[in-house]
Structure 1
Amino acid sequence: MKKTRMLTFILILLFLSGCRLSAFGGQVVIDWVDFIHFDGKEYNGIHSGVLADKSFIGNKIGTVKFKVADNVKNPSYKIRDGDAAFHEKGTEIFQIKDHPHLIAVKDDRAINGYRVYFSRDDDIEYQWNFKDMPIEKVERIEIYQTDSPAGNKLISKLTKSDDINSFLQLLVDSEENPNFQPTRGSGDPIFYEMFFYTDEPIAYKYYMQFDGETYYWSPWDTSILSDEIQTFIGGN
């Protein structure tokens, strides 16, 4: 019984520290959150949004001093100013104009060329869930196919208000079905990323999939979309 309790305690400690033991040699591997620690604050990467336009990028305010991923093996390591999870030393850090709680770094793989981070240490609650998006302010919608052989491929851009409103209504009218299981007869689903641009520096980002029969997405739980969505993405 004592051995069982001790093993459970050790496993809990490993979980809380964000580490795991590899299958070979008992080496500790740390699963880092995408962060940048700058000017005494921790900034986390925004996964449900992207930079809306490069014009929002302000002045350079610093650089990354140390990349912790692949270099830090000690789970007790204390994060220091200038540390970043995945960015190399020397990566330039930029402010977002008129938004002191947001920063950005260049990223060639990101839409519009920058990866955006928000401060966790300020008393500001950023919300990028679909239910929080001001749909009345959406000015443009872009849809990318993300599993294209050429990488992210822009397949649709909606700029007319009628098209934007119709597309948004299809999303609003989608039917929640958390137990939905995609069919596998046609192979892996096709993956899409949808970007919704307002007057804010961050464009909202959501995912959509098509399994050969059904379009679905996850604003919270999985929801089924009408086949009318094909009108806006060309169908398959």
Structure 2
Amino acid sequence: MHVNGSIAVVTGANRGIGRALVEALLAGGASVVYATARRPETVEDLVARDHRVRPLRLDVTDPEQVTRAARVASDATLLINNGGSLGFADPLTGDLATIEVDLRTNFIGTLSATRAFVPVIERNGGGAIVTMLSLVVFGAVPAMSGYSAAKAAAASATQALRAQLLDRKISVHGVFPGAVDTDMIRGMAMPKATPSSVATAILDGVEAGAENIFPDPMAQAGHQAWRADPAAFERRMGSM
């Protein structure tokens, strides 16, 4: 999959990694970037900067909006599932509604968008689907139980989709970042990668055909630690 000449859809494009992905796609020569957000006015500055950016209203938890987005972006060849939510709730005492929001957004919403765009991308001759997952797939963080569970479910779906789409000219890529300096974890004190460096690494990984992308130093070190001793890595993440 080549970024140059691609027609991309980025969910959650109004801030953080999503916004950085839009900018990286433009820098890489994408022909069109559909920048989706629950409130399209939040990406108007991107539209003003580059005529290739097209704002598109999309809440991935709203089936009607998902269907409409796939109809509007009918020329898409690349879907980047970036939109998500992060609520803090532990599995024993945390608010179940908070956990449900994370599952509905990060798993069901992501899967819904993917299901809508697979036939679009296939009709356009193939392309790629990229899903933002997380290092928590390999070791859950108790305080983020809904997020951890949702990302693990999305990772499983990514594997299943990869098998299903193998012969349909659609590559499927899972992205497992560590800590990134975005609004979601702004209050957490730890080393963080910049959204722009993560976005660049993601697109480099897609162009290289990497099925699993670890786009920052924490992600790379965490994956190596998990491979060396999965139980120890689980304990480490569980103590956060």
TM range (shorter): under 0.3
Q: TM-score, normalised by structure 2?
A: 0.23
Q: Tell which has more relative contact order, 1 or 2 (C-alpha 8 A, sep 6+).
A: 2
Greater Rg by CA: 1
Q: Which has the higher helix share?
A: 2
